[in-house]
Structure 1
Amino acid sequence: MIKKNIFSLDNKVIVVTGGTGVLGSHFVNAIVQAGGTVIIFGLNEERGNTQAEAIRKNGGEALFLAVNVLEESQLEEAKEKIIRKYGKIDGLVNGAGGNVPEGVLSPEGDVFDLNIEGMKKAMELNLWGTILPNQVFGPSLAKTGNGAIVNISSVASKRALTRVLGYSMGKAAIDYYTKWFAVEMANRYHDSIRINAIAPGFFLSEQNRTLLTNPDGSYTDRADSILRQTPFKRFGKPEELCGALV
Protein backbone atom coordinates (compact mmCIF):
# COMPACT_ATOMS: atom_id res chain seq x y z
CA MET A 1 0.00 0.00 0.00
CA ILE A 2 1.40 3.39 -0.99
CA LYS A 3 1.46 5.99 1.77
CA LYS A 4 0.68 9.34 0.18
CA ASN A 5 2.35 11.57 2.75
CA ILE A 6 5.26 10.04 4.64
CA PHE A 7 5.90 13.38 6.35
CA SER A 8 2.44 13.70 7.87
CA LEU A 9 2.24 14.74 11.53
CA ASP A 10 -1.45 13.86 11.86
CA ASN A 11 -2.43 12.98 15.42
CA LYS A 12 0.97 14.09 16.75
CA VAL A 13 1.12 16.45 19.75
CA ILE A 14 4.30 18.50 19.59
CA VAL A 15 5.73 21.09 22.00
CA VAL A 16 7.77 23.99 20.60
CA THR A 17 9.75 26.01 23.14
CA GLY A 18 10.59 29.53 22.04
CA GLY A 19 7.59 29.20 19.75
CA THR A 20 6.87 32.93 19.60
CA GLY A 21 10.31 33.82 18.18
CA VAL A 22 11.25 34.40 14.55
CA LEU A 23 12.40 30.83 13.91
CA GLY A 24 10.09 29.26 16.47
CA SER A 25 6.94 30.72 14.93
CA HIS A 26 7.88 29.20 11.57
CA PHE A 27 8.50 25.86 13.28
CA VAL A 28 5.01 26.09 14.78
CA ASN A 29 3.40 26.82 11.42
CA ALA A 30 5.30 23.99 9.72
CA ILE A 31 4.05 21.49 12.29
CA VAL A 32 0.47 22.69 11.90
CA GLN A 33 0.69 22.54 8.10
CA ALA A 34 1.91 18.94 8.41
CA GLY A 35 -1.21 18.11 10.44
CA GLY A 36 0.23 18.22 13.94
CA THR A 37 -1.21 19.68 17.13
CA VAL A 38 1.23 22.25 18.46
CA ILE A 39 1.83 23.50 21.98
CA ILE A 40 3.57 26.87 21.91
CA PHE A 41 5.86 27.78 24.82
CA GLY A 42 7.05 31.35 25.24
CA LEU A 43 7.20 34.33 27.57
CA ASN A 44 5.28 36.80 25.40
CA GLU A 45 1.69 35.91 26.34
CA GLU A 46 0.03 38.40 24.01
CA ARG A 47 1.99 37.19 20.99
CA GLY A 48 1.60 33.52 21.92
CA ASN A 49 -2.15 33.67 22.46
CA THR A 50 -2.63 35.63 19.22
CA GLN A 51 -0.55 33.05 17.37
CA ALA A 52 -2.51 30.09 18.76
CA GLU A 53 -5.85 31.78 18.08
CA ALA A 54 -4.91 32.45 14.45
CA ILE A 55 -4.00 28.78 13.98
CA ARG A 56 -7.32 27.64 15.43
CA LYS A 57 -9.27 30.07 13.24
CA ASN A 58 -7.57 28.52 10.21
CA GLY A 59 -8.60 25.02 11.23
CA GLY A 60 -5.47 23.93 13.08
CA GLU A 61 -5.05 22.88 16.69
CA ALA A 62 -2.78 24.96 18.92
CA LEU A 63 -2.40 25.91 22.56
CA PHE A 64 -0.16 28.59 24.07
CA LEU A 65 1.36 28.18 27.52
CA ALA A 66 3.50 30.84 29.18
CA VAL A 67 6.54 28.83 30.27
CA ASN A 68 10.09 29.76 31.26
CA VAL A 69 12.21 26.82 30.08
CA LEU A 70 14.70 27.43 32.90
CA GLU A 71 12.02 26.82 35.54
CA GLU A 72 11.54 23.07 36.00
CA SER A 73 8.35 23.53 38.02
CA GLN A 74 6.74 25.47 35.15
CA LEU A 75 7.73 22.74 32.72
CA GLU A 76 6.24 20.05 34.96
CA GLU A 77 3.00 22.01 35.34
CA ALA A 78 2.79 22.52 31.57
CA LYS A 79 3.36 18.81 30.96
CA GLU A 80 0.45 17.90 33.21
CA LYS A 81 -1.82 20.37 31.41
CA ILE A 82 -0.91 18.92 28.03
CA ILE A 83 -1.41 15.33 29.14
CA ARG A 84 -4.80 16.20 30.66
CA LYS A 85 -5.94 17.90 27.46
CA TYR A 86 -4.41 15.70 24.75
CA GLY A 87 -3.48 12.47 26.56
CA LYS A 88 0.10 12.33 25.22
CA ILE A 89 3.12 14.21 23.91
CA ASP A 90 4.81 12.93 20.73
CA GLY A 91 7.47 15.51 19.98
CA LEU A 92 9.55 18.36 21.36
CA VAL A 93 11.33 21.17 19.49
CA ASN A 94 13.80 23.04 21.67
CA GLY A 95 13.61 26.41 19.96
CA ALA A 96 14.17 28.53 23.08
CA GLY A 97 17.60 30.14 23.11
CA GLY A 98 19.55 32.91 21.45
CA ASN A 99 22.04 35.51 22.51
CA VAL A 100 21.85 37.92 25.42
CA PRO A 101 23.25 41.48 25.30
CA GLU A 102 25.39 40.97 28.41
CA GLY A 103 27.16 38.05 26.77
CA VAL A 104 28.33 39.99 23.71
CA LEU A 105 31.83 41.49 23.63
CA SER A 106 31.64 45.06 22.34
CA PRO A 107 33.91 46.02 19.40
CA GLU A 108 35.95 48.30 21.65
CA GLY A 109 35.96 45.82 24.57
CA ASP A 110 39.12 44.07 25.70
CA VAL A 111 39.17 40.31 25.13
CA PHE A 112 40.44 39.95 28.71
CA ASP A 113 37.46 41.85 30.04
CA LEU A 114 34.69 39.42 29.13
CA ASN A 115 31.40 39.72 30.98
CA ILE A 116 31.53 36.34 32.68
CA GLU A 117 28.07 36.59 34.18
CA GLY A 118 26.65 37.55 30.80
CA MET A 119 28.36 34.59 29.17
CA LYS A 120 27.00 32.28 31.87
CA LYS A 121 23.52 33.64 31.19
CA ALA A 122 23.87 32.95 27.45
CA MET A 123 25.13 29.42 28.08
CA GLU A 124 22.39 28.72 30.62
CA LEU A 125 19.64 29.86 28.28
CA ASN A 126 20.87 27.80 25.35
CA LEU A 127 22.17 24.65 27.04
CA TRP A 128 20.04 24.26 30.17
CA GLY A 129 17.06 25.72 28.31
CA THR A 130 17.38 22.64 26.10
CA ILE A 131 18.32 20.00 28.68
CA LEU A 132 15.55 20.81 31.17
CA PRO A 133 12.63 20.40 28.70
CA ASN A 134 14.16 17.11 27.53
CA GLN A 135 14.38 15.86 31.11
CA VAL A 136 10.78 16.78 31.84
CA PHE A 137 9.11 15.70 28.58
CA GLY A 138 11.40 12.82 27.58
CA PRO A 139 9.64 10.07 29.57
CA SER A 140 6.28 11.04 28.05
CA LEU A 141 7.76 11.01 24.55
CA ALA A 142 9.25 7.55 25.06
CA LYS A 143 5.85 6.19 26.12
CA THR A 144 4.44 6.89 22.66
CA GLY A 145 6.89 4.38 21.15
CA ASN A 146 7.90 6.84 18.43
CA GLY A 147 8.87 10.05 20.20
CA ALA A 148 11.13 12.66 18.63
CA ILE A 149 13.20 15.55 19.98
CA VAL A 150 14.79 18.25 17.80
CA ASN A 151 17.35 20.54 19.40
CA ILE A 152 18.36 23.80 17.74
CA SER A 153 22.11 24.25 17.42
CA SER A 154 23.82 26.91 15.28
CA VAL A 155 26.58 27.50 12.78
CA ALA A 156 28.21 29.27 15.74
CA SER A 157 28.97 25.85 17.21
CA LYS A 158 31.14 25.02 14.18
CA ARG A 159 32.92 28.28 13.44
CA ALA A 160 34.79 30.70 15.70
CA LEU A 161 32.64 33.82 15.49
CA THR A 162 33.88 37.05 17.01
CA ARG A 163 32.18 38.66 20.04
CA VAL A 164 29.56 35.95 20.86
CA LEU A 165 31.61 33.46 22.88
CA GLY A 166 28.96 32.58 25.49
CA TYR A 167 26.32 31.88 22.85
CA SER A 168 28.75 29.86 20.73
CA MET A 169 29.87 27.74 23.67
CA GLY A 170 26.24 27.07 24.58
CA LYS A 171 25.46 25.87 21.05
CA ALA A 172 28.65 23.78 20.89
CA ALA A 173 27.57 22.13 24.15
CA ILE A 174 24.17 21.37 22.59
CA ASP A 175 25.95 19.54 19.75
CA TYR A 176 27.81 17.28 22.16
CA TYR A 177 24.78 16.83 24.40
CA THR A 178 22.63 15.79 21.42
CA LYS A 179 25.14 13.13 20.36
CA TRP A 180 25.63 11.86 23.92
CA PHE A 181 21.90 11.75 24.62
CA ALA A 182 21.19 9.96 21.33
CA VAL A 183 23.56 7.15 22.31
CA GLU A 184 22.25 6.89 25.87
CA MET A 185 18.61 6.84 24.76
CA ALA A 186 19.31 4.24 22.08
CA ASN A 187 20.92 1.99 24.68
CA ARG A 188 18.13 2.46 27.21
CA TYR A 189 14.99 3.09 25.11
CA HIS A 190 16.04 1.54 21.79
CA ASP A 191 14.04 3.13 18.93
CA SER A 192 11.09 4.40 20.97
CA ILE A 193 12.54 7.93 21.11
CA ARG A 194 14.98 9.80 18.84
CA ILE A 195 16.95 13.03 19.21
CA ASN A 196 18.55 15.15 16.49
CA ALA A 197 19.68 18.74 16.04
CA ILE A 198 19.38 21.37 13.34
CA ALA A 199 22.25 23.86 13.03
CA PRO A 200 20.92 26.95 11.22
CA GLY A 201 23.24 29.35 9.48
CA PHE A 202 22.71 33.10 9.72
CA PHE A 203 19.16 34.41 10.10
CA LEU A 204 17.91 37.81 11.22
CA SER A 205 16.27 37.37 14.62
CA GLU A 206 15.41 39.58 17.56
CA GLN A 207 18.54 38.43 19.42
CA ASN A 208 21.05 39.28 16.69
CA ARG A 209 19.34 42.19 14.97
CA THR A 210 21.47 44.82 16.71
CA LEU A 211 24.62 42.93 15.69
CA LEU A 212 23.63 42.64 12.04
CA THR A 213 21.63 45.79 11.26
CA ASN A 214 22.02 49.51 11.90
CA PRO A 215 19.14 51.63 13.27
CA ASP A 216 18.24 52.63 9.68
CA GLY A 217 17.95 48.96 8.65
CA SER A 218 21.18 48.82 6.67
CA TYR A 219 23.64 46.01 7.32
CA THR A 220 26.53 46.40 9.75
CA ASP A 221 30.11 45.59 8.81
CA ARG A 222 29.64 42.27 10.62
CA ALA A 223 26.64 41.41 8.45
CA ASP A 224 28.49 42.42 5.27
CA SER A 225 31.40 40.18 6.26
CA ILE A 226 29.03 37.24 6.81
CA LEU A 227 27.30 37.74 3.48
CA ARG A 228 30.59 37.91 1.60
CA GLN A 229 31.29 34.38 2.85
CA THR A 230 27.78 33.12 2.05
CA PRO A 231 27.29 31.65 -1.45
CA PHE A 232 23.72 32.98 -1.79
CA LYS A 233 24.85 36.42 -0.55
CA ARG A 234 21.81 36.70 1.72
CA PHE A 235 20.61 35.65 5.16
CA GLY A 236 18.52 32.54 5.53
CA LYS A 237 14.73 32.53 5.41
CA PRO A 238 13.14 30.80 8.43
CA GLU A 239 10.86 28.67 6.24
CA GLU A 240 13.97 27.07 4.70
CA LEU A 241 14.46 25.14 7.95
CA CYS A 242 10.97 23.69 8.08
CA GLY A 243 11.46 20.72 5.76
CA ALA A 244 14.35 19.43 7.86
CA LEU A 245 12.37 19.97 11.05
CA VAL A 246 9.29 18.06 9.92
Structure 2
Amino acid sequence: MGKLENRVAVITGGASGIGKGMAAAFVKEGAKVVIIDLNEEQGQKTIKELHEYQPESMFIQADLAEKQKLPGLIEQVIEHYGKLDILVNNAHATKIKPFEEITQEDLDLSFNTGFYPTFYLMQAALPHLKETQGKIINFASGAGINGDTNQASYAAAKEAIRAISRVAANEFGPFGINVNLISPIANSPGVQKWAQEQPEYYQSMLSKIPLRRLGELESDIGRVAVFLASEDADYITGQTIMVDGGATKLR
Protein backbone atom coordinates (compact mmCIF):
# COMPACT_ATOMS: atom_id res chain seq x y z
CA MET A 1 0.00 0.00 0.00
CA GLY A 2 1.35 3.39 -0.99
CA LYS A 3 1.11 6.48 1.17
CA LEU A 4 -1.62 7.89 -1.10
CA GLU A 5 -3.44 4.68 -2.00
CA ASN A 6 -6.86 5.31 -3.58
CA ARG A 7 -6.71 9.05 -2.94
CA VAL A 8 -7.82 11.48 -5.63
CA ALA A 9 -5.45 14.37 -6.25
CA VAL A 10 -5.76 17.39 -8.53
CA ILE A 11 -2.52 18.99 -9.71
CA THR A 12 -2.66 22.17 -11.77
CA GLY A 13 0.15 22.69 -14.24
CA GLY A 14 0.70 18.94 -14.02
CA ALA A 15 1.71 18.33 -17.63
CA SER A 16 5.34 19.35 -17.22
CA GLY A 17 7.96 20.62 -14.81
CA ILE A 18 7.35 20.47 -11.08
CA GLY A 19 3.72 19.51 -11.62
CA LYS A 20 4.70 16.48 -13.67
CA GLY A 21 7.30 15.50 -11.07
CA MET A 22 4.67 15.61 -8.33
CA ALA A 23 2.18 13.69 -10.46
CA ALA A 24 4.73 10.93 -11.01
CA ALA A 25 5.52 10.75 -7.29
CA PHE A 26 1.80 10.66 -6.43
CA VAL A 27 0.82 7.84 -8.78
CA LYS A 28 3.73 5.72 -7.57
CA GLU A 29 2.22 6.04 -4.09
CA GLY A 30 -1.19 4.87 -5.33
CA ALA A 31 -3.00 8.17 -5.98
CA LYS A 32 -5.42 8.75 -8.82
CA VAL A 33 -4.12 11.99 -10.26
CA VAL A 34 -6.00 14.58 -12.29
CA ILE A 35 -3.60 16.86 -14.10
CA ILE A 36 -5.06 20.17 -15.27
CA ASP A 37 -3.02 22.03 -17.85
CA LEU A 38 -3.37 24.40 -20.78
CA ASN A 39 -1.01 22.38 -22.98
CA GLU A 40 -3.10 19.65 -24.61
CA GLU A 41 -0.22 17.90 -26.37
CA GLN A 42 2.02 17.74 -23.30
CA GLY A 43 -0.91 16.83 -21.07
CA GLN A 44 -1.83 13.82 -23.20
CA LYS A 45 1.80 12.72 -23.28
CA THR A 46 2.15 12.98 -19.51
CA ILE A 47 -1.09 11.17 -18.73
CA LYS A 48 0.04 8.24 -20.86
CA GLU A 49 3.18 8.01 -18.72
CA LEU A 50 1.13 8.18 -15.52
CA HIS A 51 -1.16 5.40 -16.75
CA GLU A 52 1.76 2.98 -16.48
CA TYR A 53 1.41 3.29 -12.70
CA GLN A 54 -2.19 4.42 -12.25
CA PRO A 55 -4.56 3.82 -15.20
CA GLU A 56 -7.39 5.68 -13.45
CA SER A 57 -5.60 9.03 -13.64
CA MET A 58 -6.85 11.59 -16.14
CA PHE A 59 -6.00 14.83 -17.93
CA ILE A 60 -8.23 17.91 -18.17
CA GLN A 61 -7.28 20.62 -20.63
CA ALA A 62 -8.19 24.03 -19.25
CA ASP A 63 -7.15 27.67 -19.20
CA LEU A 64 -6.98 28.54 -15.51
CA ALA A 65 -7.22 32.23 -16.34
CA GLU A 66 -10.90 31.65 -17.19
CA LYS A 67 -12.12 32.18 -13.64
CA GLN A 68 -15.75 31.35 -14.33
CA LYS A 69 -14.79 27.82 -15.37
CA LEU A 70 -12.72 26.94 -12.29
CA PRO A 71 -15.57 25.57 -10.10
CA GLY A 72 -16.60 23.34 -12.99
CA LEU A 73 -13.18 21.71 -13.02
CA ILE A 74 -13.65 20.54 -9.44
CA GLU A 75 -17.17 19.34 -10.23
CA GLN A 76 -15.80 17.37 -13.16
CA VAL A 77 -13.43 15.58 -10.80
CA ILE A 78 -16.21 14.85 -8.31
CA GLU A 79 -18.49 13.50 -11.06
CA HIS A 80 -15.75 11.16 -12.25
CA TYR A 81 -14.31 9.93 -8.93
CA GLY A 82 -16.95 10.80 -6.35
CA LYS A 83 -14.51 12.56 -4.06
CA LEU A 84 -11.44 14.79 -3.77
CA ASP A 85 -8.64 14.20 -1.26
CA ILE A 86 -5.78 16.45 -2.39
CA LEU A 87 -5.60 19.79 -4.20
CA VAL A 88 -2.21 20.98 -5.45
CA ASN A 89 -2.13 24.51 -6.89
CA ASN A 90 1.10 24.56 -8.84
CA ALA A 91 0.38 26.36 -12.12
CA HIS A 92 1.72 29.89 -12.55
CA ALA A 93 2.90 31.96 -15.53
CA THR A 94 4.90 35.16 -15.29
CA LYS A 95 7.33 37.50 -17.02
CA ILE A 96 10.69 38.51 -15.61
CA LYS A 97 11.14 42.29 -15.87
CA PRO A 98 12.63 45.20 -13.92
CA PHE A 99 10.12 46.83 -11.60
CA GLU A 100 9.84 50.01 -13.64
CA GLU A 101 8.94 48.07 -16.81
CA ILE A 102 6.11 45.98 -15.35
CA THR A 103 2.74 46.67 -16.92
CA GLN A 104 -0.83 45.95 -15.89
CA GLU A 105 -0.76 43.11 -18.42
CA ASP A 106 2.22 41.57 -16.62
CA LEU A 107 0.47 41.81 -13.26
CA ASP A 108 -2.70 40.32 -14.73
CA LEU A 109 -0.76 37.39 -16.20
CA SER A 110 0.76 36.50 -12.83
CA PHE A 111 -2.41 36.91 -10.80
CA ASN A 112 -4.75 35.36 -13.36
CA THR A 113 -2.66 32.19 -13.73
CA GLY A 114 -1.37 31.89 -10.16
CA PHE A 115 -3.25 33.69 -7.43
CA TYR A 116 -6.83 33.62 -8.69
CA PRO A 117 -6.85 29.94 -9.72
CA THR A 118 -5.38 29.04 -6.33
CA PHE A 119 -8.05 31.05 -4.52
CA TYR A 120 -11.06 29.91 -6.53
CA LEU A 121 -10.04 26.25 -6.74
CA MET A 122 -9.55 26.19 -2.96
CA GLN A 123 -12.99 27.73 -2.55
CA ALA A 124 -14.62 25.25 -4.94
CA ALA A 125 -12.80 22.27 -3.41
CA LEU A 126 -13.56 23.14 0.20
CA PRO A 127 -16.94 21.35 0.55
CA HIS A 128 -15.43 18.17 -0.86
CA LEU A 129 -12.24 18.37 1.18
CA LYS A 130 -14.38 18.70 4.31
CA GLU A 131 -15.79 15.27 3.53
CA THR A 132 -12.36 13.65 3.16
CA GLN A 133 -10.41 15.78 5.66
CA GLY A 134 -8.18 16.49 2.73
CA LYS A 135 -4.97 18.32 1.99
CA ILE A 136 -4.15 21.48 0.08
CA ILE A 137 -0.64 22.19 -1.18
CA ASN A 138 0.01 25.63 -2.63
CA PHE A 139 3.21 27.05 -4.05
CA ALA A 140 5.30 29.90 -2.72
CA SER A 141 8.60 31.22 -4.04
CA GLY A 142 11.85 32.61 -2.76
CA ALA A 143 11.21 35.43 -5.23
CA GLY A 144 8.52 36.73 -2.91
CA ILE A 145 10.10 35.76 0.40
CA ASN A 146 13.47 37.31 -0.46
CA GLY A 147 12.34 40.04 -2.86
CA ASP A 148 14.30 38.81 -5.87
CA THR A 149 15.05 41.48 -8.46
CA ASN A 150 13.07 41.53 -11.72
CA GLN A 151 10.34 39.38 -10.15
CA ALA A 152 7.87 41.91 -8.77
CA SER A 153 4.72 40.61 -10.48
CA TYR A 154 5.56 37.01 -9.64
CA ALA A 155 6.62 37.84 -6.09
CA ALA A 156 3.43 39.78 -5.45
CA ALA A 157 1.20 36.91 -6.55
CA LYS A 158 3.23 34.32 -4.64
CA GLU A 159 3.12 36.29 -1.41
CA ALA A 160 -0.62 36.77 -1.89
CA ILE A 161 -0.91 32.98 -2.17
CA ARG A 162 1.07 32.59 1.05
CA ALA A 163 -1.27 35.03 2.78
CA ILE A 164 -4.50 33.26 1.81
CA SER A 165 -2.93 29.90 2.64
CA ARG A 166 -2.30 31.02 6.21
CA VAL A 167 -5.86 32.30 6.48
CA ALA A 168 -7.19 29.04 5.05
CA ALA A 169 -5.08 26.99 7.45
CA ASN A 170 -6.83 28.77 10.33
CA GLU A 171 -10.31 28.56 8.83
CA PHE A 172 -10.07 25.03 7.40
CA GLY A 173 -8.22 23.47 10.33
CA PRO A 174 -11.37 22.74 12.37
CA PHE A 175 -12.58 20.59 9.47
CA GLY A 176 -9.40 18.52 9.54
CA ILE A 177 -8.04 20.09 6.34
CA ASN A 178 -4.33 20.83 6.14
CA VAL A 179 -3.07 23.76 4.05
CA ASN A 180 0.66 24.07 3.42
CA LEU A 181 3.03 25.58 0.87
CA ILE A 182 6.15 24.40 -0.90
CA SER A 183 8.74 26.97 -1.93
CA PRO A 184 11.04 25.13 -4.33
CA ILE A 185 14.16 25.58 -6.35
CA ALA A 186 13.92 22.93 -9.02
CA ASN A 187 15.54 21.86 -12.24
CA SER A 188 12.42 22.62 -14.26
CA PRO A 189 12.25 23.43 -17.99
CA GLY A 190 11.48 27.04 -17.07
CA VAL A 191 14.59 27.32 -14.91
CA GLN A 192 16.69 25.67 -17.61
CA LYS A 193 15.47 28.25 -20.12
CA TRP A 194 16.14 31.03 -17.64
CA ALA A 195 19.67 29.68 -17.08
CA GLN A 196 20.35 30.01 -20.79
CA GLU A 197 18.90 33.51 -21.02
CA GLN A 198 20.55 34.88 -17.87
CA PRO A 199 23.57 32.63 -17.14
CA GLU A 200 25.28 35.06 -14.76
CA TYR A 201 22.17 35.47 -12.62
CA TYR A 202 21.63 31.72 -12.69
CA GLN A 203 25.17 30.96 -11.54
CA SER A 204 24.82 33.56 -8.80
CA MET A 205 21.64 31.85 -7.60
CA LEU A 206 23.25 28.41 -7.72
CA SER A 207 26.25 29.58 -5.68
CA LYS A 208 23.90 30.64 -2.86
CA ILE A 209 22.39 27.16 -2.50
CA PRO A 210 24.30 25.36 0.28
CA LEU A 211 23.72 21.96 -1.35
CA ARG A 212 25.04 23.40 -4.66
CA ARG A 213 22.40 21.84 -6.88
CA LEU A 214 18.85 22.29 -8.11
CA GLY A 215 16.10 20.08 -6.77
CA GLU A 216 14.98 17.12 -8.85
CA LEU A 217 11.37 17.39 -9.94
CA GLU A 218 10.15 14.02 -8.72
CA SER A 219 12.62 12.79 -6.12
CA ASP A 220 13.08 16.12 -4.31
CA ILE A 221 9.98 18.26 -4.86
CA GLY A 222 7.59 15.39 -5.59
CA ARG A 223 8.53 13.41 -2.50
CA VAL A 224 7.97 16.41 -0.21
CA ALA A 225 4.57 16.90 -1.82
CA VAL A 226 3.78 13.23 -1.14
CA PHE A 227 4.70 13.76 2.51
CA LEU A 228 2.47 16.84 2.83
CA ALA A 229 -0.40 15.02 1.10
CA SER A 230 -0.12 11.95 3.34
CA GLU A 231 -1.11 11.10 6.88
CA ASP A 232 2.52 11.67 7.88
CA ALA A 233 1.83 15.43 7.75
CA ASP A 234 -1.51 15.42 9.58
CA TYR A 235 -0.21 17.73 12.31
CA ILE A 236 1.40 20.27 9.96
CA THR A 237 -0.62 23.18 8.59
CA GLY A 238 -0.09 26.82 7.61
CA GLN A 239 3.59 26.24 6.92
CA THR A 240 5.88 27.21 4.06
CA ILE A 241 8.28 24.32 3.45
CA MET A 242 11.50 25.50 1.81
CA VAL A 243 12.54 22.75 -0.64
CA ASP A 244 15.43 24.77 -1.99
CA GLY A 245 18.67 23.17 -0.87
CA GLY A 246 18.95 25.57 2.05
CA ALA A 247 18.90 28.76 -0.01
CA THR A 248 16.31 30.42 2.25
CA LYS A 249 16.06 29.80 5.97
CA LEU A 250 12.78 31.05 7.39
CA ARG A 251 12.71 32.55 10.87
Counterpart residue number, 1:124: 112
Q: Sort the Cα spacing of 1:74 and 1:14 in 2 relative to 1 into closer, same or farther, 3 A.
A: same
Deviations 1:102-146 (A, max 9, x none): xx225xxxx5343232133213322112111111112111122x2
Deviations 1:38-83 (A, max 9, x none): 0110011121122222322445421001122232443333323322
Among 24, 32, 38, the alignment partner of 1:29 is 24
Q: TM-score, normalised to structure 1's length?
A: 0.83
Counterpart residue number, 1:105: 97
Number of residue pairs matched? Answer: 225
Q: Sort the Cα spacing of 1:154 and 1:113 in 2 relative to 1 into closer, same or farther, 3 A.
A: closer
Q: Aligned equivalents of 2:195 and 2:217: distance in 1?
A: 16
Structure 2 gap ranges (5+): 227-251
1:184 equivalent to 2:163? Answer: no
Deviations 1:178-233 (A, max 9, x none): 111111222xxx143221111113x243444443214xxxx611001111211122
Q: Sort the Cα spacing of 1:59 and 1:161 in 2 relative to 1 into closer, same or farther, 3 A.
A: closer
What's the % identity of the aligned pairs? 28
Counterpart residue number, 2:213: 234
Is the radius of gyration larger for structure 1 or structure 2?
A: 1
Q: Sort the Cα spacing of 1:71 and 1:136 in 2 relative to 1 into closer, same or farther, 3 A.
A: farther
Q: Aligned equivalents of 1:185 and 1:140: distance in 2?
A: 12
Q: Aligned equivalents of 2:53 and 2:108: distance in 1?
A: 41
- 8 Å CA contact 2:11, 2:35 repeated in 1: yes
1:122-201 to 2 correspondences below 5 Å = 122-144=110-132, 146-186=133-173, 190-201=174-185
Counterpart residue number, 2:233: none
- More relative contact order, 1 or 2 (CA 8 Å, 6+ apart): 2
Q: TM-score, normalised to structure 2's length?
A: 0.82
Q: Sort the Cα spacing of 1:181 and 1:209 in 2 relative to 1 into closer, same or farther, 3 A.
A: same
Equivalent residue of 2:147, what SS?
Answer: coil
Q: Aligned equivalents of 2:123 and 2:105: distance in 1?
A: 25
